[in-house]
Amino acid sequence: MTPRLRPGYTFRMTTTTSGTPTPPAESPGIVSSLNETRLFPPSAAFTTAANVSDPGVYERAAADPQAFWAEWAGKLDWISPWRTVCEWTPPHAKWFVGGKLNISANCLDRHITSARRNKAAIIFEGEPGDSRVLTYQDLWREVNQFAGALKGLGIRKGDRVTIYLPMIPEAAIAMLACARIGAIHTVVFGGFSGDSLRERINDSGSRLLITADGGWRRGNVVPLKQAADEALANNSCPTIENVVVVNRAGDPRHVPMTEDRDHWWHRLLEHAPRLTAPEVMDAEDPLYILYTSGSTGKPKGILHTSGGYLTQALATTQWTFDLKDEDVYWCTADVGWVTGHSYVVYGPLAAGATVLMYEGAPDWPQRDRFWQIIEKYGVSVFYTAPTAIRAFMKWGTEHLEKHDLSSLRLLGSVGEPINPEAWMWYHRHVGGENCPIVDTWWQTETGSHMITPLPGIVATKPGSATRPFPGIAADVVDEAGESVPPGGGGFLVLRKPWPGMLRTIWQDDDRYQKTYWSKFGDKNLYFAGDGARRDENGYFWLLGRVDDVMLVAGHNISTMEVESALVDHPSVAEAAVIGRTHEIKGQAVAAFVTVKEGIRQTSELAGELKDHVAKKLGVICRPDDILFSAELPKTRSGKIMRRLLRDIAEGRALGDTTTLADPSVVAGLKEKYESSEG
């Protein structure tokens, strides 16, 4: 248990007892980013060939954002045109009002009337080394058939369908088939547990679950069907009528199938009609719900709709990634995350791109797997997360040196602030000092990139996401919602609605209003939950979350959710969870646990508690550290002071302890934590 804090460098902000974020000016990371002077302009050759190279786009979009977005929407195929570009009744927005379109038709049908029909849409590489290529025509055919199969199972427009699959082409096919018939998909990450799956199925009220017998991860099969069976056991998901199972990992005869409920994907297709006409969808009809962690325990069902979402996904795919017809584009995110929705499926397919999809782990069978894949397929645009980059750094450059990476021309980063040293390593060793890096800030809620360089225009600085995408009104404000002058830190907000924004939280519009739109009273500012500062050049530097959300390997995990899972264990009386700095994952989950009377504080119990959290929530939520404590530091009003626990876990001097009910508790904990490190 060694808290490793990069010397003089942290992006994390702290939270005070009342839950109000501390102004970012206290973070040492801000000071170091203020001193960042390295500037990386794109090469003249890159700019000349770029999809967008005229810096005037920023001003033009700012002068009339609606006209800017309408121009992008015009690049989609509409069944009937919109009447109004944007209707803004804060905090609710409607985009392309009255317009009708179908998302799957935009991702597929419109590409198969040209030579693009024979182009690879998805190049799939399985972890065991199998591979499969689907042209646009192939993908169109499979989506048509599966959409027909869904209809055959009684799924209709507006019904919810939960997708719990590995990273295999069927995940994209299932999403697009839902979009084709107007069903609302909700993808649950395959790394989540059966319990998490059940919670999401029930919140969304899904009628159908699509899963697989398993997926490959580090040479093992992740037993998805088994987790799904656990989720559904004892009629605990009463809305589910049918389960579709993809045969990916083993002998289908060994998979227990529940009669009349479970159906093999391949069997359904045998009887499905060959053609399923795309449903006519309103621009504001829901496309999907995707769950994300909030600062309370219950995940939020983020609702995205159709026309605006696809417009911004397409615009950002083409401009941020500078995608060209000949590119082989690889976004390493799983479809279980929003990055997989917008930048594996919808954005790139709407753009007619060739998308690489890889099923497994980056270190299987060897630590060079990613570089081997890049060489094998000639990947030219590569989009991954800082947590992966830090792992590659740790593994060493010998793994990259074995491979020819010269096909790469653009690199991207997403999920958390990228440390300048990781940025430089990415630039040097992956990009060969020849590829622009686009550090893209956005969220499940925003649907698409919001702050990112346009690679042909914007000179980058290591660690900065640079400028808002054209048409996006981002700002840094103080507690009162007033803009902070250059150099200062504050809260990241969005001042104007944007096409890809979430429309609400599924069945909880109240929480939508409270979480995102009420922090600054009636100023109608979208509160992103991130701290940020802007430098003299107007570049944004993201400073991490200001709420009780951890970013573990770039994924949002709520401290509350992990605490609830711990307290759910029969031995636990109370738990406080914080994110502490972790070299690879960015943050690791650290838990302070008080056990019940008469329970022994053993390392076996600590292991059991870690497993318990992994089982309840999924392996990514598993705590790295468990520290037992007879008491937790609390204010006189009984609030746990997580800020002090964070100081302890980071090995820092303790901040202000004057509001503590019993200051000796925290001193004792600090001593115990430090001795447990050695």
Sole window of 209-217, 430-438, 527-535, 558-566 interacting with ligand WT7 (rule: CB under 6 A)? 527-535
- State the Cα torsion 613-619-624-628 to the nearest 10°: 10
Helix H, strand E, coil C: the string for 145-174 is HHHHHHHHCCCCCCCEEEEECCCCHHHHHH
Applying CB under 6 A, does 352 fall inside the site for ligand WT7? no
The nearer residue to ligand WT7, 534 or 555, going by C-beta atoms, is 555
Pairing relationship of beta strands 286-292 and 300-305 according to DSSP bridges? antiparallel
Sole window of 73-81, 324-332, 334-342, 656-664 interacting with ligand WT7 (rule: CB under 6 A)? 334-342
What values do phi and psi take at 387, rounded to 5? -60, -40
Which residue is it, tokens 């959290």?
A: 613
The nearer residue to ligand WT7, 351 or 528, going by C-beta atoms, is 528
Applying CB under 6 A, does 311 fall inside the site for ligand WT7? no
Applying CB under 6 A, does 493 fall inside the site for ligand WT7? no
CB 453 within 8 A of CB 470: no
Q: Provide the minimum distance between the beta carbon of 287 and ligand WT7 in the complex, in angstroms, as a whole number.
A: 17
Q: Provide the minimum distance between the beta carbon of 388 and ligand WT7 in the complex, in angstroms, as a whole number.
A: 13
Applying CB under 6 A, does 415 fall inside the site for ligand WT7? yes
DSSP for 17-58, please give it.
TTSPBPPGGG-HHHHHHHT----BPPPHHHHHH-S---THHH
How far apart (Å, rounded) are the C-alpha atoms in residues 625 and 613? 12
**Beta strand residue intervals within 293-425, DSSP E:** 300-305, 328-331, 354-358, 381-384, 410-413
How far apart (Å, rounded) are the C-alpha atoms in residues 583 and 393? 10
CB 410 within 8 A of CB 321: yes
Q: Which amino acid is at 271?
A: H
Applying CB under 6 A, does 542 fall inside the site for ligand WT7? yes
Sole window of 238-246, 356-364, 523-531, 660-668 interacting with ligand WT7 (rule: CB under 6 A)? 523-531
Instruction: Quote the crossing angle between the two packed helices 603-617 and 559-567, to the nearest 10°.
Output: 120
Q: Provide the minimum distance between the beta carbon of 312 and ligand WT7 in the complex, in angstroms, as a whole number.
A: 13
The nearer residue to ligand WT7, 444 or 460, going by C-beta atoms, is 444
Sequence length of the chain is: 678
The nearer residue to ligand WT7, 439 or 625, going by C-beta atoms, is 439
Applying CB under 6 A, does 443 fall inside the site for ligand WT7? yes
Applying CB under 6 A, does 632 fall inside the site for ligand WT7? no
Q: Of 170, 262, 284, 530, which lies in the binding site for ligand WT7, with binding defined by CB under 6 A?
A: 530
Q: Provide the minimum distance between the beta carbon of 551 and ligand WT7 in the complex, in angstroms, as a whole number.
A: 6
Sole window of 56-64, 145-153, 333-341, 560-568 interacting with ligand WT7 (rule: CB under 6 A)? 333-341
The residues with which 595 forms a beta bridge, in sequence order, are 572
The nearer residue to ligand WT7, 166 or 299, going by C-beta atoms, is 299
Instruction: Quote the crossing angle between the two packed helices 136-152 and 169-181, to the nearest 10°.
Output: 60
Applying CB under 6 A, does 666 fall inside the site for ligand WT7? no
Applying CB under 6 A, does 32 fall inside the site for ligand WT7? no
**Beta strand residue intervals within 231-285, DSSP E:** 242-246, 262-264, 281-282
Q: Of 352, 362, 529, 633, which lies in the binding site for ligand WT7, with binding defined by CB under 6 A?
A: 529
Applying CB under 6 A, does 561 fall inside the site for ligand WT7? no
Q: Positive or negative, the Cα torsion across 235, 237, 238, 242?
A: negative
Q: Of 168, 227, 303, 338, which lies in the binding site for ligand WT7, with binding defined by CB under 6 A?
A: 338
Applying CB under 6 A, does 448 fall inside the site for ligand WT7? no
Applying CB under 6 A, does 27 fall inside the site for ligand WT7? no
Applying CB under 6 A, does 563 fall inside the site for ligand WT7? no
Buried b (16+ CB within 10 A) or exposed e, 512-523: beebbbebbeee
Tell me, by CB under 6 A, how many residues bind ligand WT7: 24
How far apart (Å, rounded) are the C-alpha atoms in residues 90 and 497? 9
Applying CB under 6 A, does 135 fall inside the site for ligand WT7? no
How far apart (Å, rounded) are the C-alpha atoms in residues 385 and 362? 12
Applying CB under 6 A, does 650 fall inside the site for ligand WT7? no
Pattern of binders to ligand WT7 over 267-306, x per CB under 6 A?
Answer: -------------------------x--------------
For residue 220, the surrounding DSSP H or E stretch is strand 220-222
Helix H, strand E, coil C: the string for 449-481 is CCECCCCCCCCECCCCCECECCCCCEEEECCCC
Q: Positive or negative, the Cα torsion across 74, 78, 83, 86?
A: negative
Sole window of 232-240, 258-266, 331-339, 615-623 interacting with ligand WT7 (rule: CB under 6 A)? 331-339
The nearer residue to ligand WT7, 249 or 414, going by C-beta atoms, is 414
Q: Tell me 538's DSSP state.
A: S
Applying CB under 6 A, does 416 fall inside the site for ligand WT7? yes
How far apart (Å, rounded) are the C-alpha atoms in residues 16 and 656? 10
Count of C-beta atoms within a 10 Å radius of residue 241: 16
The nearer residue to ligand WT7, 135 or 444, going by C-beta atoms, is 444
Applying CB under 6 A, does 587 fall inside the site for ligand WT7? no
Applying CB under 6 A, does 389 fall inside the site for ligand WT7? no
Q: Tell me 254's DSSP state.
A: G
The nearer residue to ligand WT7, 555 or 642, going by C-beta atoms, is 555
Applying CB under 6 A, does 417 fall inside the site for ligand WT7? yes
Q: Provide the minimum distance between the beta carbon of 556 and ligand WT7 in the complex, in angstroms, as a whole number.
A: 4
The nearer residue to ligand WT7, 339 or 354, going by C-beta atoms, is 339
71 is written with which tokens? 């121009």
Q: Of 211, 387, 556, 587, which lies in the binding site for ligand WT7, with binding defined by CB under 6 A?
A: 556
Applying CB under 6 A, does 547 fall inside the site for ligand WT7? no
Q: Of 100, 185, 555, 643, which lies in the binding site for ligand WT7, with binding defined by CB under 6 A?
A: 555
Nearest alpha carbon to residue 430 among 389, 478, 471: 389
Residues near ligand WT7, by CB under 6 A:
292, 337-339, 414-417, 439-444, 465, 528-530, 542, 545, 551, 554-556
